Amino acid sequence: MALLEIKGLKAYYGQIEALHGFDMELEEGEITAVLGANGAGKTTTLRAICGMVKSSGTITVGGENVVGMSTEAIVARHKIAHVPEGRGTFVRVTTEENLRLGAFTRRDKEIEKDYERVYHYFPRLKERRNQQAGTLSGGEQQMLAVGRALMLRPKIMLLDEPSFGLAPIITEELFNILGQINRDEGVSMLVVEQNANLALDISKNAYLLETGNVAMTGPADKIMDDEQVRKSYLGY
């Protein structure tokens, strides 16, 4: 059984149905990419997993349905760390306090040690540890968002357009680190991306969303070779 299983997922913004009932799976320890144009429902899918939009259908994490649970409970109980669109930085507190907040639901004594774990992946954050987070650059804030997610010691990381607004070289660095985190820590990842090439590179499987439905699914390399996908999303 997959770690995360979505069945017949529908999601609503008020009266409007944004997802029309689809299935999706994320295997333990794997990276899965979710691709699609603007408005296809990628972000909504991630938000539904975290209980941030009204939804129906089932989303099971480790065999337990989380639809209807509060965001706080899903995060605390199932160790799902969401790196949101726009990074969700707590701008008025320091870098290290942001990391501390990432570990808010943890009660163990290892939190202090985990700062070093994050700084190992992102040495830049260590230099900025006492700086107000709002003054970090876009790339640094994205690293901070991933670092904050790591502080939860997550089983699943949901990444919403981590490349958004970043220089190509920073994006590449970030995706390398994401791949490394996946290998070292065994964290499963669901990555939503406009930059399909990068996402497919580090992913094992991929889903292609079109206006609230799954248009195509399969191993990442197959999807990458598909002519239609190449024309529409990869641009060559």
> Please, what is the minimum distance in Å from the beta carbon of residue 93 to another protein?
7
84 near another protein, judged by CB under 8 A: yes
Angle at 2 between CA 228 and CA 234, to 5 degrees: 20
Taking the least distance from each CB to another protein, the nearer of 20 and 77 is 77
- Residue 18 is given by DSSP the state E
Task: Give the full edge-to-edge strand order of the sheet including 64-65.
Answer: 16-26, 4-13, 54-61, 64-65
Residue 92 contacts another protein per CB under 8 A: yes
* Residue 89 engages another protein in binding (rule: CB under 8 A): yes
User: Which 132-151 positions form the footprint of another protein (CB under 8 A)?
Assistant: 148
Q: Is the separation of the CB atoms in 65 and 5 below 8 Å?
A: no
52 is a site residue for another protein (CB under 8 A): yes
Instruction: Spell out the residues 6+ positions from residue 157 whose beta carbon is closer than 8 angstroms to its own.
Output: 80, 81, 82, 83, 146, 149, 181, 187, 188, 189, 190
Cβ of residue 141: shortest distance to another protein, in angstroms? 12
Tell me: does residue 105 bind another protein (CB under 8 A): yes
Least distance CB 235 / another protein (angstroms): 30
Residue 75 contacts another protein per CB under 8 A: yes
